[in-house]
Structure formats: structure tokens, C-alpha cells
Amino acid sequence: MDGDCGVLWGKVSPWPLGTGDNGVPWGKLHPWLLGMGDNGVPRGQRGLMGKAKSPPFGDRGQQGPMRRTGSHENNGVPRGKVSPWPLGQGTAGSREDKGIRWGAASTGAHGPPGGWARRSLSAGPAGPRRPSPSPAEGAGRAAGEQRCWVYHCSRVAAMVKQYVSEVQRVTKVNVSVLGSWSNSKQEKEESLSEFLEDLGTIFSHEPWIQISKEGNSKFWSCSTLQKHSNNPKEEEIILVYYDQRKVMLSHLHPPLDTAASTDRKADDASKLSAIFDTVAKSKVLFMTDRYDDGPIKLTHWQSDGVEASIIVELLKQASVPACMLLTFLLSVISGICRSRVLKFWPLSFLWSKLSTCEQLGYRLQHLQVISSNKKAQNESQLMRKANIFVSLLIDVALGILLMSWLYRKNRIGHLADTLIPVADNVAEELQDLLQWLMGAPAGLKMNRALDQVLGRFFLYHIHLWISYIHLMSPFIEMILWYVGLSACLGLTMALCILSDIIALLTFHIYCFYVYGARLYCLKIYGLSSLWRLFRGKKWNVLRQRVDSCSYDLDQLFIGTLLFTILLFLLPTTALYYLVFTLLRLLVVIVQGLIHLLVDLIDSLPLYSIILRLCRSYRLAAGVKFRVLEQQDGKPLRLLMQINPLSYSSVVQTYRLPTYSCYPKDSWTSLCKKLFLGELIYPWKHKGEKQD
Amino acid sequence: MEERLYRSASGAPIALRPRQHSASCRELAVRCPRLQLRSLSAVTSAVWLAAYGLFVLSENSMVLSAAIFITLIGLIIYLHFVKIDQESLLVIGSLGIQVTSSYASGKESTTFIEMGQVKDVVINEAIHMQKVIYYLCILLQDPGDPQGVSDIVPLFQSSKPRLDCLIEVYKSCQEILEQRKTAPQPSGIK
């Protein structure tokens, strides 16, 4: 006879969909179809999930419970192939005769991957690779067949049960035999169907599924047998096709708002995650191919040999010593960094102020993560490592690109040459500004004496600054040349150095801001205190409130005098404070933009984005269904595909944490601080003590 | 299988196409009004006239190229991200409900809701701008509270069919949802 048949087995999943013992609820059972024909189901495309999904498995023999050597009698577990052929054939010890076939040759046809074990060949010259049995042999087989039916059934059942238990042990997935399948090229064979029904009586599974396909049609018909139920109502059966390889490799992302869910919620909220979980656990079974010695030949997308890339394997081998070397270097560097020499006060203060050091520490941390010897425990840790690695790689590549651009045509020399004139220019502009303030700025009349004092003080400061810059000018080019080399550590490092250079060059503006702010702050506090005196009140420090107080006459007199002086000097100080605060804010904005860019490069999960672009099935937000061609009387056919995660969710889920935080002051508190003259520090790094 | 014509809340013609794939699987697709050629031409002419006016004022030909560029990019963005061509609902009795929106550029965005999470499908009233409209929505079950509703998913948001169309979709859905209520409770096979 022609065609194949086999046993369905799989895991019974806790996905009851409204149906009970009657009929087969979708998703409740995961039959593994062992050996499907290739009619209509393209190879590598789909797995038949007749009522649930389960990949077929087999295992490598080295790791699994299957023993490769020995005759089929000792092997025990037929890998999903149940043939109605009498035993006793194929004990010659040849590879072909071992195991499953029990005298039947395999068709050699490759069924569709995704859940198909290799076709078990029933008798007859069906496949290209089988040796075609002679007519006499065929007759003999037929005779033997009748005789051995009962013997076979129990024997087959025993072997299958043993196999199933071993599989359960290896994959830790609760599997059981759920039914049988048959794919006959000609009409239904009575003996075959009898055999399959007998199998059904041996395996007590409720309900017993039988699916079959005839001829070259691609439509399967499915029937269920209820042995012990009292309700004979026929349930509808749905066949769902899915690509097993993609489901196995994909990772289901729960919705973000249900991330913190209780166990109960996780248990019955998503059956989809149970499906993905089961398929992923069976990964070990996909590592077998048809070249494995064993009783069972499986068909899935790796039947022709496990796919692997030699480059990937070489990289894996090379990564171990590379990681060890990197760990050693990092431990040396961190040992140096932690030494006491660098912890003395001026140096530690300097390190904390320079953003380059922060960035360096951050990158060192990243390097430590990727060079650690421990394998990633779960998917998110693996993605994190991969993201860090790709981010570092891209960063260094961009940095080297920048460096090559800077050093070509001696651009860095030109940059150094223009630096001094730019600094001079800035100083001259400041001098002009101060001269303007010392005159009648914007038509306001200033207090001449205070104006002159402040103006001359700041002018002298600028003069000192310019002299200092001129002192440094011969060394600028060399310093810049060597500092530019550090761009090879990454684009982020180059940007941080740029930000630090800007901070150093505008140090005098920072100084002016501090002087102006302190003066203004003192003035404001003095004014508020004297205003209270003016009204006869006092600030009670003990009670933190304003109390009335009786002052002496001379206290009142001096207080009022001082109040008047301060009040009339307020516009001058306020103007200076305003001008220098605006300049300072300008510099802070420029530095802030650079830090934003650095933050963006640091935290962007590039590997996840590239994965979403190229292998979108790996990051699954859910599934989607499509209705396939139908035929009347046959079960409904659906195609299940993976619905990939959207780019914004990818970035949100896999963002790398960075060290900087955004301005912690809200706009109102910032304005309040500016008004009172308190010094503002708009960007504070995590881990810094509050000032 | 045949298409029936209805109107949307704003008066535009829409078409409903119900299909029955099997006893427990139905697909209901609502086709939105297509992009009108005259509105497209109007927008394009307006943009180009403005660009030409700017060009006459500024004598810079970059304005014209920029206008062409902007029109093309804007059209592509509109077709790919904004204009929805068809919204469909696939109800599979024991599996779940799938909501698909297909955009004019061919992009499809799909959401699948498992049947365990679906509490019910209802028609709600809403105040939208100055009108009161009816819309169909799926109520999601709150896992902690059997009577509670954790979230609602509104359907057909872009085509906004009127009540007569919604009633038909509602009846179709309820026929399938009732099947899961009449089926006996699942056994404890784990």
C-alpha cells in the first residue's frame, strides 16, 4: 500500500478554548505529526499544527535518550514512526532497516519542516530512495502483515510509550500520544485504518485524534474519537499552519503594562506565551538531522544537515580567549583607576567635573559586561550584551572615521591655529560688552561709582585670562593633536572632550557668572532682611518664621540707610547679573546639546533595531492569522504568522541605561533660583552628591 | 460574500463585506472611501502656487524644488501612515478576534486578541467633536475581577460606520461569541 501513517504526539497545553471533553479544543493538544506527506505542504514553510502546535523532535543521540547503535529492537523508541509492517524485517543491522521502518523503507521524501517527523514509509515502492521491493517480497509482507497485527500494536505502543517518556525527560515538556495520522496516495486502506484504530485503544487519550489526507489534495480531514464521553456533539476542528523555525527562534514580548503581573494572571492570560514557550523548549530536538544513526528519521527544515555558518563557529571559538584577555586588561585598568594616588582632593574634584571621565567609566563598565565569562541567562540579558557590543563597535568605527577626517590634510593643526584667535575674539567681545555696561546700557542710567568698580574688576579678570591663553598658545597645537587621538576610543569620547574643551575655554564666563550671582544674591538677601527691619519685623531662625521685633532707634536709622543704599544700587548689580547669567546659560545650552547627543548614542539599542529590520520574527509582539484556501467538509485552515514589535516598543524595551539625568529642577523652581541669585547646576550626574 | 453599501458618520460611502469561512470563523471587512483625485489635486496646486509665489519674491529656484520634494514626501507619508483603506475584523470562535487595518500603501497593522481576554463586543455611544456617534468596541476581561472590564478596544475608528452597519457587524460577532458560552467549561487537562 502506498502512503504514510504515524502517530500524533505532543503536549497537552492548558489552553482550553471553551470546549471540554467533547471534541478537541483548539490549542489544547499539541499533536506532533510524525511524518507527513509532502503533498501540498511546502518544505520549510509550514508546520501543521493540527489543533495545536508542537514541533517534532528527535535528538542528537549524543545528548538525548536515543541510542544510536544497536538494532532496532534495542533502540526502543521509534522516533515517531509507526509502521504497520511486521517486525522481523530489517534486523540485518543495516542502517536502513534499523528502527522505525521495521522492514519498510523510508520514502526519502522530505516532508515539510516544522513539525514533521520523517515519513514513515508504509510498504510499497513509494519513494525514490527506497529499494523497491520485489513483488514476492511484497506478497510476503502482506502475509506477514496480517499475522503480526496484534503483535505489532502492543509492541509499537510499548516502544512509543518509552520514547515519549524519554522525550519528556529531555525536554521537560509534558508530552503524550494524542492520535494518529495517515497520508495515503491512493484510497483509504482498511488495514491501515484498523491498525490506527487499534493503536487508539491502546493509548488512552481522550479524545483520540485521527487526521488523514488522500491523494494529492492539500486538505486534511480530521476526526476525533470520544471513548468515554457522554456527549456526542461534534466540535469544529481548526488546522493552524505555522512556521516552526520562526516560532522557535522568536521571543514573545508581553505588553508593557502587564509586565508586572501575578502568576495567576500570567497563567491564564496568555496561552500564546505557553505556545511559544513549548516550541522554544523543544529546540534540542531540531538539532538532529537525517544523517543521525537511529531508528527514526525526522523531517524538518534541518533534515539535510544542521545549518551553521563556519564564520560564526570560528568567532565563537575565538571569543573565549579574547574575552579572557579583555577581562585581564580591564582588571588592570580598573586597578589603576582605583589606586589611592588618584583619589587626592584636587584630582578627584577634577575627575568629577570632567564629563570625559564619566564617559570613560561608563564605557569601561560596558566592556566589563561583554567580556564576562558568564553566559547570558535569558533573552533580555543576551539582547543587552549584544546591544552594548554593537553600540561600542559603531561608536569606535565612527570615532576612527572622525579621527581620519581630522588628521587628513592636517585639519587638526588648522583647528589649533584658529583656537587662539577665537579665544581672543571672545575676550574682546566681552571687553566691548563691559565697556557698554559701564556706559549707559540700553539707555539705563547706572550708578557711576559701582559701575566703574565692577567694570574694572571684570576687565582686569579678562586681561588675566587673555595673558593666560597667550602663555599656553605654543603648546595648544601639541596638546590638541594628542587629545584628538583619543577620538579613536569612540565618537562619544570625542564629543565629551569637545564639551570639556568648551567648558575650559569659557571658564571666565563661568567665573563672571559666579561673581555676579553672589553679589546679586547677597544684595537680595540684604534687601529682604532690611525690608523686614523697615517694617519692624525680624526673621526668627528658631521658629523659621517672621516675628515682630522692636528695634532701637540707631538700629532703625542705620538699617534704613543701608536699605536705601542697597535699593538704589540694585539696578546696576541686577544688570550685570542678568548679562552674565544669559552668557552662562548660552554655554550651558551648547554643552547640554552635546551631552544629549552623547546620551542618544550611548542608549540607542542598535542591535535590536537591526534585528527588527532584518529578522523581524525574532521580536514578536503577538501573532496574526490568515484564512487559507478552504474546502467544504474539511476543517478550517488558518495560517499563523508572527506579528513583529513596533520600532518604538523595541527602543523602549531595550534602551540601555545611561549615567546622566535630565534637569531635576522644574521650570518654576529654575526661575525662582534665577530670581534669587542662587547658583544653578542644570545637569547633575547620577551619583553626585547634591550641593 | 456580497458587499453592502452604507454611510459613515460623516456621510461618506463605505462598504461592508461579510464572509463566512466556517461555522465559527467570520470575517467582516469595511472598506473606507478612497482618496479623492480632486482633493489631491487641490492640495498639490495650493502648495505649488504658494511655492511659486515665494519664488517670485525671493528669486531662488530652490524653493520650487523644495516644494516638489515636500509634496512627494508628504504624499508618501500620508499614504503610508494616515490613509486607511480597509478595516477588517476576523472572529474565530475558539481562538480570538483579530483586528486589521490596511493602509493605502499596502501596509497592514494587525492586533490579535485571545478569546480568553475578550469579555464582550458591544456598541457604545460617544461624543465626537460636535456629534454623538456610535462605535463598536471589544471589552477586555480584567483577570482579577470576573465582572470587571480592564480595557476597551474601539473598532472601525477610521471608517466610523453608522448604526445600521454596526448592528449587522454586532449580530455577526455575537453569534460566534455565543458559541463559546454554550460550550461546556474546559476540563483540567494540563
Whose grid coordinates read 533502540?
A: A75
Say if residue A431 is exposed, middle or buried (CB neighbours under 10 Å; 0-12, 13-18, 19+): middle
Look at A25 and B190 and tell me if their CB atoms are within 8 Å.
no
Domain shared by B177 and B149, yes or no: yes
Per-residue pLDDT reduced to its tens digit, A563-591: 999 998 888 888 889 889 999 999 989 99
pLDDT above 80 for A65: no
Measured CA to CA, the distance from residue B79 to residue B90 in angstroms comes to: 24
Domain shared by B118 and B167, yes or no: yes
Measured CA to CA, the distance from residue B179 to residue A376 in angstroms comes to: 46
Per-residue pLDDT reduced to its tens digit, A499-545: 998 888 888 888 889 988 999 999 999 999 998 888 888 888 888 88
Q: Which residue type, as a one-letter code, is found at position B61?
A: S
Residue in A with minimal Cα distance to B181: A18
DSSP string, A317-328: HHHHHHHHHHHH
Look at B184 and A21 and tell me if their CB atoms are within 8 Å.
yes
Is A26 within 8 Å of chain B by CB? yes
- What is the number of CB-based contacts under 8 A between chain A and chain B? 98
pLDDT value of residue A472: 83
Look at B144 and A236 and tell me if their CB atoms are within 8 Å.
no
pLDDT value of residue A572: 87
Look at B184 and A625 and tell me if their CB atoms are within 8 Å.
no
A688, A352 in Cβ contact below 8 A? yes
Q: How many structural domains comprise chain B?
A: 2
Instruction: Work out the pLDDT band at A639, boundaries 50, 70, 90.
Output: very high
Say if residue A375 is exposed, middle or buried (CB neighbours under 10 Å; 0-12, 13-18, 19+): exposed
Whose grid coordinates read 491512493?
A: A186
Is A638 within 8 Å of chain B by CB? yes
Mean pLDDT for the stretch of residues B85-109: 92
Spatial CB neighbours of A294, under 8 Å, sequence gap ≥ 6:
A58, A61, A66, A67, A68, A75, A79, A98, A99, A288
Within-domain flag for B154: yes
Q: List the single residue in B98, B111, B116 with the smallest CB-CB distance to A268.
A: B116
pLDDT value of residue A228: 66
Within-domain flag for B96: no
Q: Is A306 left (phi over 0), alpha (psi -120 to 50) or beta?
A: beta
Residue in B with minimal Cα distance to A22: B184
Per-residue pLDDT reduced to its tens digit, A415-462: 888 888 888 888 888 889 888 888 877 777 888 888 888 888 888 988
pLDDT value of residue A152: 59
Measured CA to CA, the distance from residue A92 to residue A645 in angstroms comes to: 54
Per-residue pLDDT reduced to its tens digit, A358-408: 888 888 888 888 888 777 778 888 889 999 999 999 999 999 998 888 888
Question: Residue B187: its chain A contacts at CB < 8 A?
Answer: 16, 20-21
A90, A249 in Cβ contact below 8 A? no
Domain shared by B123 and B180, yes or no: yes
Measured CA to CA, the distance from residue A130 to residue A85 in angstroms comes to: 15
Q: List the single residue in A17, A269, A630 with the smallest CB-CB distance to B94.
A: A17
Is B171 within 8 Å of chain A by CB? no
pLDDT value of residue A292: 67
Is A276 within 8 Å of chain B by CB? no
Domain shared by B50 and B9, yes or no: no
Q: List the single residue in B98, B111, B186 with the smallest CB-CB distance to A18.
A: B186
Which range marks the domain in which residue B123 is found? 4-30+114-185
* Contacts with B, A 643-672, CB within 8 Å: 643
Is B148 within 8 Å of chain A by CB? no
Per-residue pLDDT reduced to its tens digit, B61-77: 888 999 999 999 999 99
B136, B123 in Cβ contact below 8 A? yes
Give the mean pLDDT of chain A.
71
Spatial CB neighbours of A132, under 8 Å, sequence gap ≥ 6:
A125
Domain shared by B21 and B66, yes or no: no
Q: List the single residue in B90, B185, B187 with the smallest CB-CB distance to A625.
A: B90
Alpha-carbon distances, residue A173 vs A176, A284, A443, B111 (angstroms): 10, 12, 86, 29
Domain shared by B155 and B131, yes or no: yes
* Contacts with A, B 22-81, CB within 8 Å: 22-25, 27
Q: What percent of chain A has pLDDT over 90?
A: 12
Within-domain flag for B172: yes
Instruction: Work out the pLDDT band at A60, boundaries 50, 70, 90.
Output: very low
pLDDT value of residue A297: 57
Tell me how crowded residue B28 is: count the other CB atoms within 10 A of its CB: 23
Within-domain flag for B132: yes
Within-domain flag for B12: yes
Within-domain flag for B118: yes
Helices B62-77 and B37-58, packing angle to 10 deg: 160
Domain shared by B21 and B50, yes or no: no
Instruction: Work out the pLDDT band at A668, boundaries 50, 70, 90.
Output: confident
First vs last Cα of chain B: how many Å apart?
40
Look at A636 and B22 and tell me if their CB atoms are within 8 Å.
yes
Q: Which of A306-340 are b and which e, b meaning 16 or more Cβ less than 10 Å from the residue's Cβ?
A: eeeeeeeeeeeeeeeeeeeebeeebeeeeeeeeee
A43, A110 in Cβ contact below 8 A? yes
Question: Residue A270: its chain B contacts at CB < 8 A?
Answer: 114
Residue in B with minimal Cα distance to A13: B190
Mean pLDDT for the stretch of residues A324-329: 88
Within-domain flag for B108: no
Q: How far is A612 from chain B (nearest CA, A)?
A: 16
Domain shared by B17 and B43, yes or no: no
Whose grid coordinates read 529642577?
A: A665
Within-domain flag for B94: no
Whose grid coordinates read 463566512?
A: B20
Domain shared by B26 and B46, yes or no: no
Domain shared by B180 and B158, yes or no: yes
Look at A18 and B93 and tell me if their CB atoms are within 8 Å.
yes
Of A267-281, A308-322, A649-663, the least confident: A267-281
Measured CA to CA, the distance from residue A506 to residue A570 in angstroms comes to: 27
Q: How far is B59 from chain A (nearest CA, A)?
A: 35
pLDDT value of residue A9: 57
B173, B176, B179, B180 alpha-carbon torsion, rounded to 10°: -70
Domain shared by B125 and B65, yes or no: no
Instruction: At A675, list the grid cell.
Output: 530670581
Domain shared by B171 and B120, yes or no: yes
Mean pLDDT for the stretch of residues A600-605: 91
Q: List the single residue in B23, B94, B110 with the smallest CB-CB distance to A26.
A: B94
Alpha-carbon distances, residue A270 vs A14, A17, A265, A379, B110 (angstroms): 10, 12, 8, 19, 17
Is A623 within 8 Å of chain B by CB? yes
